[in-house]
Amino acid sequence: MGKESHTVEVRPFRGTVRVEANGATLASTTRALLLEETGYPRRFYVPEADIEAELSPNPRRTHCPFKGDAAYANTSANGLPIEAVAWSYPNPIADVPDLAGHWCFDPGKTETVVEEE
């Protein structure tokens, strides 16, 4: 798929986003960003300031030609460790600058509860 047919849209989400795992709240915000990307389900990015869980660096790194280099983080929820629970783009490419300072939680390891306005 060429860049011309691939779109990434980032915009403020109007509503509340809460991320949970193992019965614990990892993050809760009314300032999430909604990312919609061709070929992927929508994703919510939470401002780092609204993350309640303690994140620690994970060595995993990935690259997306449309967003940049992703860094991953671990956490624990109710005493249970969760590896690579979230990712962030510390220095996103110019097309998606708003992603800086935000984290997306892995939907396979967490539950995201969304209340739209």
Looking up residue 102, the CATH number of its domain turns out to be 2.170.150.40
CA 3 to chain centre: 22
Alpha-carbon gap, residue 96 to 66, rounded angstroms:
8
What are the tens digits of pLDDT across the range 89-110? 999 999 999 999 999 999 999 9
Alpha-carbon gap, residue 87 to 104, rounded angstroms:
5
Alpha-carbon gap, residue 82 to 8, rounded angstroms:
28
Number of structural domains found in the chain: 1
Question: What's the pLDDT score for residue 2?
Answer: 53
Question: What's the pLDDT score for residue 107?
Answer: 98
What are the tens digits of pLDDT across the range 36-55? 999 999 999 999 999 999 99
Task: Print the domain residue range for 12.
Answer: 3-116
Question: What's the pLDDT score for residue 117?
Answer: 87
**Where is average pLDDT lowest: 1-5, 16-20, 40-44, 59-63?**
1-5
What CA–CA distances, in Å, run from 105 to 2, 6, 73, 94, 113? 27, 22, 9, 22, 12
Residue 35 has pLDDT above 90, yes or no: yes
Q: Residue 87 in contact with residue 71, Cβ under 8 Å?
A: yes
Residue 71's φ and ψ, nearest 5 degrees, are: -110, 150
